[in-house]
Structure 1
Amino acid sequence: MKKLYATAKLLALFVKELFISSYAVILHIIRPRLAVRPGIFALETELESDWEITLLSCLICLTPGTLTLDVARDSRTLFIHAMDIGDAGLLSQQIKGSFEKAIMEVTRP
């Protein structure tokens, strides 16, 4: 039951992030002046298995405004492109505190 709850929580988190980021992207599109600061940053992850890293990469890619570009050979660093980066450190912490944490709850005992 615990894993089922964690999976439902991960799905709900994704749906929430999907709507929030979609709204942010739409706001950027309808503004008369494009005010985005695109960039690439490195995300150091605590995820270990290929399955966990693939799931995180897919969730990032499916969220509008972000895209996983590459995974380093050590499988600990993801290179992510974001449409609007104010603070790369803050964005990394948000991903680690939401998606990464939820993935670990689903995949680990």
Structure 2
Amino acid sequence: MSPRAGLPRRVVWRTGRILRFAGFFTVRLVQANLVVAREILTPGHALCPAIVRVPLRAGTDTEVAAMALAVSLTPGTLTVGVHRDPPALSVHGMHAGDAETFRRQLAELEGYLLAALRPVGGAHPIGGANRNGGER
């Protein structure tokens, strides 16, 4: 079987993963906007800010940057630091009273994001740079 024989299946799977991430992220964005809007209308109601270090499974600079961007795009959270070895983010959350729950929520986001970014079948994208900036 030629390497191209599985191409249509991989395209379908990858498209599905991207759509799942888009749907998941859209729901997260709406939820976060509602929480922030409630906080504006009832100041101090449930505010419990914290900065939490979140370990990442991301393996490339692109994956780490995409995760940092996704976190910062979500209202109520902000990436305040990126750590390289081991990969981690320091994230400020407006409602991060329970650090473990906050980490789990961000790990779930990362799971959907990595599934959307990584090729189907575990192969690395051609020409992609690894975390240290070198070519694969």
TM-score by length of 2: 0.74
Q: For structure 1, which segment, 60-69 or 88-97, has the greater mean C-alpha deviation from structure 2 after superposition?
A: 88-97
Structure 1 or 2: more helix by fraction? 1
The runs of 5 or more residues in structure 1 that have no matched partner are none
| Alignment match, 2:25 | 14
Structure 2: distance between partners of 1:75 and 1:12? 29
Let me know the Cα RMSD of the aligned residues. Answer: 1.2
Local SS of the residue matching 1:27: helix
| Alignment match, 1:105 | 115
Greater relative contact order: 1 or 2 (C-alpha under 8 angstroms, separation 6 or more)?
1
Q: Is this contact kept in 1: 2:55–2:86, CA < 8 A? A: no
Question: What's the offset of the Cα at 1:75?
Answer: 5.3
Q: Decide which of 64, 79, 84 is 1:53's aligned counterpart.
A: 64
Bigger CA radius of gyration = 2
CA-to-partner distance for each residue in 1:3-46, whole Å, 9 max, x for gaps? 01101111111110000000000111101x41311110100111
Give the % identical residues: 24
Question: What's the offset of the Cα at 1:104?
Answer: 2.1
Letter in 2 for 1:73: R
Matches within 5 A, 1:1-109: 1-31=12-42, 33-35=43-45, 36-74=47-85, 76-97=87-108, 99-106=109-116, 107-108=118-119, 109=122
Moved over 2 A (4+): none
TM-score by length of 1: 0.91
Aligned length: 107
